[in-house]
Chain A
Amino acid sequence: GENVEQHPSTLSVQEGDSAVIKCTYSDSASNYFPWYKQELGKGPQLIIDIRSNVGEKKDQRIAVTLNKTAKHFSLHITETQPEDSAVYFCAASIRRGADGLTFGKGTHLIIQP
């Protein structure tokens, strides 16, 4: 089955700086890669996703890049703000309709004021 590795487990950056979180996946058939943000006491919230026919996607301060050959994808957050502090999870799936996502172990992002 699919295996998703995520690094780093904790990332501390100064407010205003950029943060990058990286994930690798094992199954070359995977074609859908979402990123979720989880705040304390809440469920994961989708922040951005990318499909395998696209190499990069951007939404304001958030961007995701995908390298299918190397089987890795990354989340980039620019101009970080205190409210960006949370746990971020990458995930991957083979989309056949009602399929499950395989999640990474999460990155605790801490924005230092």
Chain B
Amino acid sequence: EPEVTQTPSHQVTQMGQEVILRCVPISNHLYFYWYRQILGQKVEFLVSFYNNEISEKSEIFDDQFSVERPDGSNFTLKIRSTKLEDSAMYFCASNDVKDSPLHFGNGTRLTVT
């Protein structure tokens, strides 16, 4: 069964550094998402992306965050200047059409020191 893949599985970075989290959505999917989960807390929506542009973003997704689909397969989340509170699991997800189930990757654990 096709799956969403994320790399790296764990990223450690120093406060103030830039990080890029990478995702390869399922190949025929058109809608892409980033969510985050702070340890022990609920999964929070960050941003959705369709037709090469952001469709919706949450209050968490401020100017420090950006997303990009640089080629036909990758979908990236960039955090420009990381803060301690950015430490979390970041999940990429995708689906093919409206109202279809989201498929999540296994996440990237980001640790900001």
Contact = CB atoms under 8 A, between A and B. Distances in A.
- Whether chains A and B associate is yes
Contact of B106 (A34, A41, A103): A41
Q: How large is the interface on B (under 10, 10 to 19, 20 to 34, 35 or more residues)?
A: 20 to 34
Interface in A1-48: 32, 34, 36, 41-46
A104 B48 CA distance: 19
A59 interface: no
Nearest to A91: B43
Interface SS of chain B: strand
Contact of B42 (A32, A43, A99, A106): A106
A53 to B, nearest CB: 12
A43 B104 contact: yes
Closest 5 CB pairs of A and B: A100-B45, A43-B104, A98-B55, A98-B48, A98-B50
Given A44-B91, A51-B99, A89-B42, 10 more contacts: A43-B91, A43-B104, A49-B101, A89-B43, A91-B43, A95-B98, A97-B31, A98-B31, A98-B56, A105-B41
